[in-house]
Chains A and B, each alone.
Chain A
């Protein structure tokens, strides 16, 4: 077994026992990037020298008895997170040469914890998409079948971890961008509650739903990374001041007597039989663990994607207005007046999906259409949130599918915008309601002679990551 395929927990034990060093671990990851990334194409930038130096530093700290849980553990970060002195492109030509002047909060936290940043990963431009095909640079591939997508928008981070190029990675989730790639790449992808993790230094997409979270190989590792990054930060006005829970202390606690709800609307005849069977198995595991299973209604489930695709583009059209080529970003030389300067820069700097969303949002917010679209969507968002609240008055956790199927082929949906948007069907509602959720491996399905992974989603009440991880840990142990 290669050391770069270890979980964080396993690697940490070996580091403490001095069976391996952080330098060896880091070099093993870098060499896997060197060997495999030519075909999987996950990294936009690799910080080889910096990573080697940081690993040597981590080894010194380990030798002096420092036992920070992430000390010496190599990771990759999505390229919409700022890393001081390095490029942050957000997968866009607009920011192709943009150098971050400061670290994002999460990168700072992980730096202090002694984790080793190996590089930055590919994404759909500005995190707009479900396949990485909207990246201005290249599409990433799924390690389980290179003709397929790893999902998106955090597809680079997911594919890299699935191919053992790091021990964990960071992504951002606005309407499913961590959970969908986790489902496609056989990983645990955690979307924390809105406001739990500071977004300082994350390039904004949809400010009312954007969150940062980890990809890991198991639930325990997910709790370890969350523990390291969840903290109050005054530089993010939406970051909660509450004291963060300890996500590890109760993780092994039994889930007997907890109630797990499955929404009727997610288990209807639109769900394929093979996914339904995997979810039924998970429900049986829960029953065996002593949990109670109940059926519930999410009456507005059908409205979550249309609501999401009004709210998200509206916020995008506003957030991306800052990219005009004046202070930074692509700046074209040909223009006759200020307006042309803006339109030329934005026309050349943004890709098609970004333009599509800016156009959609500008339209939804324009005079005469505001009530019909944006306000209507805001009211529906309340109803979706209330729907979840009602379910959580009688249940502890919701189980649902993560995705409508396993990874689709690259090229299959890129010309069908609505099909791509419907990828978020089980994921967008959770984002609109600000809830914590994760996708974890549910099993494998055979497609075109290949075994492809697929995940299931668990959803918890607001700020109940501790319970979410506890339930997920029990289910994982029960070997789905």
Chain B
């Protein structure tokens, strides 16, 4: 499949990625050749309704009780210190 600029921009929009002109040009060439490569999968006539569950991955949902685990001040600080903070609150970016 050919990835033109329009397709690249549409996918980038879905993926919430800002790309510069150089990246757009490069990715349209590369995704075109990668999609030709993976196109090989479509050589085979497969039954898409067959089960695709993997027995080693349990798809059963499991729950566990809510446990309050005490954490020290330094542990709390570590969790909160990823962005700017004020007291026990993280300052989130302002959205207009």
Contact = CB atoms under 8 A, between A and B. Distances in A.
Interface string B1-31: 0000000100110111111100100110011
Contacts of B90: 327
A346 B16 contact: yes
Interface in A374-390: 375-383, 385
Interface residues of B, number: 48
B18 A343 contact: yes
Nearest to A310: B38
A234 B64 contact: yes
Contact of B93 (A234, A331, A363, A385): A331
Contacts of A184: none
Interface residues of A, number: 70
Given A341-B93, A360-B34, A376-B46, A462 B56 contact: yes
A238 B46 contact: no
B42 A344 contact: no
A38 B4 CA distance: 43
Nearest to B33: A418
Interface in A218-244: 234, 237-238, 240
Interface string A313-333: 000010001001111110100
A358 interface: yes
Contact residues of B: prevailing secondary structure: loop
Contacts, number: 147
Given A84-B78, A375-B48, A306 B41 contact: yes
Contacts of A379: 46-48, 50, 52
A1 interface: no
Nearest to A195: B56
Contact of A347 (B19, B75, B92): B19
B50 A417 contact: no
A337 interface: yes
B16 A371 contact: no
Given A193-B56, A379-B46, 16 more contacts: A98-B82, A101-B79, A102-B75, A195-B56, A306-B37, A335-B93, A347-B20, A352-B26, A356-B31, A359-B8, A362-B14, A362-B15, A375-B52, A382-B50, A382-B52, A418-B37
**Nearest 7 pairs between A and B by C-beta?**
A347-B18, A328-B82, A378-B52, A101-B79, A362-B15, A343-B18, A101-B78
29 contacts: A84-B78, A98-B82, A99-B82, A101-B75, A102-B75, A195-B56, A208-B54, A234-B64, A303-B44, A306-B41, A310-B41, A325-B93, A327-B82, A327-B92, A328-B83, A331-B83, A336-B96, A344-B18, A347-B18, A352-B23, A355-B27, A356-B31, A360-B34, A363-B31, A379-B47, A379-B50, A418-B37, A421-B34, A434-B54
